[in-house]
Every structure is written in structure tokens, then in C-alpha cells.
Amino acid sequence: MAGVVGAASVAWPFIDQMQPDASTLALAQVEVDVSSLQKGASLTVKWRGKPVVIRYRSDKELEEGKAVKLSELKDPIARNANLPSDAPATDANRTVPKKEAWLVMVEVCTHLGCIPLGEQGEFGGWFCPCHGSQYDTAGRIRKGPAPENMAIPVYEFTSDTVVRVG
């Protein structure tokens, strides 16, 4: 019994050092006040070392997103961590219920990890100038070499004006 206690006391510092430090845990979630955003505007925050865009989509962007048929999409999967992994990439499935005007998305091209330019390209969403991938106003890949829609992280509105990512 004493040997087990001794071994555990020796091993614990090694096991404990594998736990994430406080700065890593702090990056696990980020809360963002979006009260200053007007329709058609966006802001980008850093979460887990990646840019996350929060866009308050205009009525036109919403209409365009809803009008796209799933058969027109290169990637028919929503890629929304808030939904089942096989959820279809409808405009509504790229957001959360009752907050469809708000798009919260990891702003990284799914081709080679570049950062696409917002409000650009043929579909008015995001354009990656590195290799020409074009995303629509819901962050769905429409043209170019990118294989998937941009990812939607786990997020929730904790109030009407605060979004918690992570």
C-alpha cells in the first residue's frame, strides 16, 4: 500500500503538468458584445487562435442565402457544431434558431487555411484570393478548390447582445 501511495505521489506532478494552463482555458470561450453591430456589418474576434467572424446579415443577404437550392452547393453539409453532423447546409442550419440574421463562423478557408476576404467574390460572401475559393453569405463554398463550407463553432446568445463562442 505504501508503494502505491509513493508511486502516485511521484507520478502526480507529471500527470498534473499535462493539464491546460489558465491562459489556454481562457481561450476555450469568448464572450462578445454585438450591440454596436448594425445590419450588414461584422466583426472578427480571436477564438482558439482562429478568427471568428460575427456578421449581422442584411435582409438581402438572408434572402439570397435562403434562395440557394441544396443541389447548387458544393458541400451539402451544414458544418455547424451546434447541429447533428449530417445536417443539411440550408441557410437556417448555418445559424441558430431565432437568430438567423446572425452568422458566427470560423473565418478560415477550408482549402489551405487562408483567411478569406469578407463581402467579396461572386456570391457576396467571402473570397479567398490565394486560390480563388468563393463562399456565399452563409459561408457555404460555392466555387473554387475548397472542399467544405466554413465551420460554425459551438456558440450561443447569452442575451440579445452577447454571443458566447466555445
Q: At 148, which CATH number? A: 2.102.10.10
**Quick one: DSSP state of residue 93?**
G
Residue 54 DSSP SS3: strand
Over its length of 166 residues, how does the chain's per-residue pLDDT go in tens digits?
655 555 555 655 555 565 555 555 556 899 999 999 999 999 999 999 999 999 999 999 999 999 999 999 999 999 999 999 999 999 999 999 999 999 999 999 999 999 999 999 999 999 999 999 999 999 999 999 999 999 999 999 999 999 999 9
Measured CA distances, 130 to 110, 112, 136, 140, 149 (Å): 12, 9, 17, 17, 17
143: in domain:
yes
Q: Are 107 and 126 in contact (CB under 8 A)?
A: yes
56: in domain:
yes
92: in domain:
yes
16: in domain:
no
The reported pLDDT for the residue numbered 31 is: 97
155: in domain:
yes
Q: Burial of 42 by CB count in 10 Å (0-12 exposed, 13-18 middle, 19+ buried)?
A: middle
2: in domain:
no
- Whether the pTM exceeds 0.75: the reply is yes
Domains in the chain: how many in total? 1
The H or E element spanning position 44 is strand 41-47
List of E strands, 8-132: 30-33, 41-47, 50-56, 102-106, 117-118, 126-128
Query: Which residues are identified as catalytic?
Result: 131
Residue span of the structural domain in which 139 resides: 23-165
